[in-house]
Amino acid sequence: MKFNIITIFPEIFDSYFNESIIKRAQDKKKIKINIHNLRDYTKDKHRSVDDKPYGGGPGMVMMVEPIYKAIKKIKKGKAKVILFSPKGKTFDQKMANRYSKLDNLIMVCGRYEGVDERVKKFVDEEVSIGDYVLTGGEIPAMIVVDAVTRLIPGVIAIESLKEESFSLEKELKHAKYEYPQYTRPENFNNLKVPKVLLSGNHKKIKQWRLDKRI
Ligand SMILES: C[S@@+](CC[C@H](N)C(=O)[O-])C[C@H]1O[C@@H](n2cnc3c(N)ncnc32)[C@H](O)[C@@H]1O
């Protein structure tokens, strides 16, 4: 699967995408992440991507033309284009699952006061990552890449995914979150690991975990 990210801060992604599961997924060619500098799609010598809002008001608004040009250049064949915005549909595990089946996801990261409203004509979906305002769409893009990559076959062991919070397994419909986990030591400052987990009785452990989930 390809992730194409349109941003004015391409370096922001370097460290996160070069560690851990996301790095391994790229090394294994399960995903490809392309970062596009929006300023490469400008036409003036200052490489401007923003301007003052019509009607007045504070801050700057990202112009439609560079974003349109970037999408047009990057969108080859079947691709889904999303725009990050606090007004969008809230990203959740179901959306992550849906996106994980795509070949190409193009993400537009806004900055400043947001983007010219006409950008919406060139995207398929507006996506929010929660009801709060961030400085830009780059953190939302990292979140989407991360949550989606975990669901791509071969990135994470299928057993881990099955039991994770928000698992889409039908029998766990009423058990939204994963069961509690413990590791060594057995006793930390008199905080003890539940006995059942030390029992070696797999049937009982399975039942305890299911009860805890519910
Ligand atoms: C400072 S915000 C603009 C907020 C806008 N003026 C408003 O009040 O809705 C700049 C950019 O950050 C991104 N952004 C901020 N909060 C977000 C959120 N909760 N979900 C997704 N993107 C967000 C969007 O791309 C947005 O265009």
* Probe residue for ligand 1, chosen from 85, 126, 127 as the CB with the greatest number of ligand atoms within 8 Å: 85
Residue ranges in the chain modelled with pLDDT below 70: 168, 170-171
Q: How far is the CA of 36 from the centre of ligand 1 (A)?
A: 19
Enumerate the domain spans of the chain: 2-156, 159-213
Q: How far is the CA of 165 from the centre of ligand 1 (A)?
A: 27
Predicted local distance difference test score (pLDDT) of residue 168: 65
Four-way CATH pick for 2-156: 3.40.50.720, 3.30.1330.60, 3.40.50.1000, 3.40.1280.10: 3.40.1280.10
Predicted local distance difference test score (pLDDT) of residue 91: 98
Rounded CA separation 36/129 (Å): 21
Ligand 1 cavity residues, CB under 6 Å? 84-87, 109-111, 113-115, 128-130, 132-137, 140
Rounded CA separation 108/49 (Å): 13
**pTM score > 0.85 for this model?**
yes
* Probe residue for ligand 1, chosen from 95, 126, 129, 134 as the CB with the greatest number of ligand atoms within 8 Å: 134
CA distances from 1 to 34, 78, 149, 182, 202 (A): 11, 12, 9, 34, 37
Q: Which fold has domain 159-213?
A: Trp Operon Repressor; Chain A (1.10.1270)
Rounded CA separation 169/146 (Å): 20
Contact between 67 and 38 (Cβ < 8 Å): yes
Q: How far is the CA of 110 from the centre of ligand 1 (A)?
A: 7
Predicted local distance difference test score (pLDDT) of residue 163: 82
DSSP string, the chain: -EEEEEES-GGGGHHHHTSHHHHHHHHTTS-EEEEEEGGGG--STT---EEPPTT--SS-EE-HHHHHHHHHHH--SS-EEEEEEEEEEEP-HHHHHHHTT-SEEEEE---TT-B-GGGGGG-SEEEESSSS--S-SHHHHHHHHHHHHTTSTTSS-HHHHHHSTT---GGGTT--SPPP---S-SEETTEEPPGGGGS--HHHHHHHHHHHH-
Can you tell me which atom of ligand 1 is nearest the CA of 133?
16
Tokens of 185: 């030591």
Rounded CA separation 107/125 (Å): 10
* Probe residue for ligand 1, chosen from 84, 116, 123 as the CB with the greatest number of ligand atoms within 8 Å: 84
DSSP string, 80-107: EEEEEEEEEEEP-HHHHHHHTT-SEEEE
